Amino acid sequence: PSIVLFFDEIEELVKERGPDHKGGSEGLITLMTRMNEGRLDPRIIIIAATNKYDMIDDAIRDRFKNHTMVPRPDLSGRHDILKIMTKPLSLSANVDLKSMAKQTHGLSGRGLKKIVMGSVDEMILRGRREGINPRVISAADCANALDTEILGLESKLKLSALEKEATALHEAGHA
């Protein structure tokens, strides 16, 4: 029998070392040292995943035999992911998952999950505002969650005309 060790978001454990050569957790560094020295039991299989490949120290990265890059899902993949994630939920008939998939170009499964969970949160908030206990996620709930994930939370900050002009000039400087 083998033991599979799976590290998700491994970059949190083995961040690239700074000039002082410090970084990563002590336990994982010990494990990687044993991998390097061949002292690890061959029945132990180590698998790691990351969305931030460039943050992992080269010395750690090189200890892994195979590297597989998984691209972000295409339109069909995003649609399939949304169907799977919303399967246990009650959606209004006007919720169009295909349209949501079209609006989420470049998002990973994690981003799509945040939109689905955000839709549930929006349904609950709508229920509180309206004094009801909704059981169905509406298209508006999904649209609000999508906007929040892609654009961020709406700012309630009130800027004066002078502050708006200064901000516009600053942003134009970036362009």
Catalogue the active-site residues.
Answer: 171
Decide: 57 and 17 in contact? Cβ < 8 Å.
yes
Cα separation, 110 vs 87, in Å, equals 17
What's the alpha-carbon Rg for the chain, to the nearest Å?
Answer: 23
Q: How far is CA 59 from CA 8, 14, 21, 39, 55, in A?
A: 18, 10, 11, 17, 12
Burial of 50 from C-beta contacts in 10 A (0-12 / 13-18 / 19+): middle
End-to-end Cα distance, the chain? 58
User: Which of 98, 111, 106, 107 is closest to 139 using CA atoms?
Assistant: 98
Alpha helices (H) along 71-160: 75-86, 97-102, 109-130, 139-151
